[in-house]
């Protein structure tokens, strides 16, 4: 695996995790309008968010993973995103008591909004690096899926969004 692939995996997986967290929190916030905060359905989603963030922090933005990122600008974006996630999602889930089945719908909506903002900002900041990689891969003739981690980044983001939409539709039908 080249250094470029290691960097790409760190960033592409980060994007997928952030998109998933955003989708799950949005769904939980929608459900909180009709269900109590301690309902198993909402708590199952909060636990899923905590697991998703745990995997992201321990593998994709761990000190070891970040040390392999050669591009200092990408590394800075990843570190800034990690700090924002810890402050605006993890910390807020704790202090609002949502992770313990308490808290308000407004608290959960604010956390979901923050997650969406973080995901969108990360995508916007990281896009120029991926556009450069895509151009480099095209210019060097690398066109197989195994050679182009960026394809998996796009597929992963689309799949995460689609799964979030499916979960939303399924729960919407159950609630109605």
Q: How much is the pTM?
A: 0.74
Q: Taken in order 37, 25, 159, 152, is the CA torsion positive or negative?
A: negative
Per-residue pLDDT of the chain (176 residues; tens, 9 = 90+): 334 444 445 788 899 999 999 999 999 999 999 999 999 999 999 999 999 999 999 999 999 999 988 889 999 999 999 999 999 999 999 999 999 999 999 999 999 999 999 999 999 999 888 777 777 766 666 554 445 555 555 666 667 777 776 776 666 666 55
How many domains in the chain?
1
DSSP state, residue 92 = H
Domain range enclosing 109: 3-175
């Amino acid at each position: 695996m080249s250094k470029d692939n290691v960097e790409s995996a760190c960033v592409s997986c980060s994007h997928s995790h952030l998109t998933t967290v955003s989708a799950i929190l949005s769904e939980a916030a929608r459900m909180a309008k009709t269900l109590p905060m301690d309902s198993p359905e909402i708590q199952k989603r909060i636990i899923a968010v905590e697991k998703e963030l745990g995997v992201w922090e321990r593998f994709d933005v761990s000190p070891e993973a970040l040390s392999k990122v050669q591009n200092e600008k990408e590394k800075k974006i990843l570190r800034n995103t990690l700090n924002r996630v810890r402050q605006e999602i993890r910390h807020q889930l704790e202090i609002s008591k949502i992770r313990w089945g308490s808290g308000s719908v407004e608290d959960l909506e604010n956390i979901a909004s923050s997650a969406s903002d973080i995901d969108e900002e990360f995508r916007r900041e990281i896009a120029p690096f991926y556009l450069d990689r895509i151009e480099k891969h095209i210019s060097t003739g690398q066109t197989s899926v195994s050679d182009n981690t960026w394809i998996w980044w796009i597929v992963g983001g689309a799949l995460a969004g689609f799964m979030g939409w499916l979960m939303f539709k399924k729960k919407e039908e159950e609630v109605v």
